[in-house]
Amino acid sequence: LCSMGRAQAVAAQKLIAKLPTKYIIVSPLGRALETADIIFAKHPQRKAIQAIVNPVIRECITNPDDIPNWTLKNQKDKYVASGKVKYDFSILEELHPALYFLETVDPELKEKTLEKLKEVGEEKYVEVMVDMMDKKAKSAPRHHKHLESNENARKRAKVFLEWLQKFIREKELRPEEVTCLLYTSPSPRDRQKSRMPSSACKKKKKKNK
């Protein structure tokens, strides 16, 4: 998160503290996990809340730059150690590391990437995925650079909704006891601000004054 994103998360703490949350369903993206850490930091039941990390609810990959180099171990070490909420990474642990990203691309690209991984070895999954996705992005029409179609995104949303309904039934929860945290695209203006280094933001504010 940029400084503006963290400030917005802190501002949401009072509202979040009023929710009867028992479980958080969160995307494994760093910005989603960081948001969960911040907004639940002052929740009265934060020590009892469990955060389920589910890769199906992350946003679609729009270009190869969306594939970070972090490993599952890095994310676990960072956020489990924070101690603010209890994180459950078991869904991700059941998947090949690459499948975390491949959930958000089209089936054809997913199969081709998995085939390539068998040839070069699993330790090179980031390198393979960037290469495969870069080729698809370059061959796509200008108006459609996403590596996941709208149709596949809708299917993924349906899969998650079915999973969530089953989760609520099995845990015998009320819907309001579950909070889902996933990344949503900022407005163009906010996106421009978030790309600025904090020092650049300060300079711009002084200039505007």
- Does residue 27 contact residue 72 with C-beta atoms inside 8 Å? no
The pair of structure tokens assigned to 45 is 């039941």
Residue tagged 């006891």 (tokens): 177
Distance CA 71, CA 76 (A): 9
CA distances from residue 25 to 42, 73, 119, 165, 191 in whole angstroms, order as listed: 18, 19, 35, 12, 25
Average pLDDT estimate for 10-24: 93
Q: Residue 123 above 70 pLDDT?
A: no
Q: C-alpha angle 106/138/99, rounded to 5°?
A: 30
| Average pLDDT taken over every residue of the chain | 76
The percentage of residues in the chain with a pLDDT greater than 90, rounded to a whole number, is: 25
Confidence label for 59 from pLDDT (cuts 50, 70 and 90): confident
| Secondary structure (DSSP) of 45-99 | TTTT-EEEE-GGGSPPP-SGGG-----HHHHHHHHHHH-SSEEE-HHHHTS-TTH
pLDDT classification of 11: cutoffs 50, 70, 90: very high
pLDDT tens digits, residue range 23-45? 999 988 888 888 998 999 999 99
| Predicted confidence (pLDDT) per residue in 141-181, tens digit | 554 556 677 777 788 889 899 999 999 999 999 999 999 98
Smallest CA-to-CA distance from 182 within 9, 61, 81, 54 is with: 54
Q: Are strands 23-26 and 86-88 parallel, antiparallel or unpaired?
A: unpaired
- Identify which has the larger pLDDT, 201 or 4: 4
pLDDT, position 25: 94
pLDDT at 121 (0 to 100): 73
Q: Are strands 178-181 and 86-88 parallel, antiparallel or unpaired?
A: unpaired
- 21-32 burial: b if 16+ Cβ within 10 Å, else e: bbbbbbbbbbeb
- How many Cβ atoms are within 10 Å of 44's Cβ, its own excluded? 9
Residue type, 92: L
Q: Is the pLDDT of residue 66 over 70?
A: no
How far apart CA 37 and CA 181 sit, in angstroms, is 11
Residue 12 gets which letter from DSSP?
A: T
3-class SS at 103? coil
What mean pLDDT comes out for the span 2-12?
A: 91
3-state class (DSSP) for residue 173:
coil
- Residue 96, classed as helix, strand or coil, is coil
Residue 110 clears pLDDT 60, i.e. is over it = yes
Contact of 163 with 56, CB cutoff 8 Å: yes
Query: How far apart are alpha carbons 79 and 169 in whole angstroms?
Result: 27
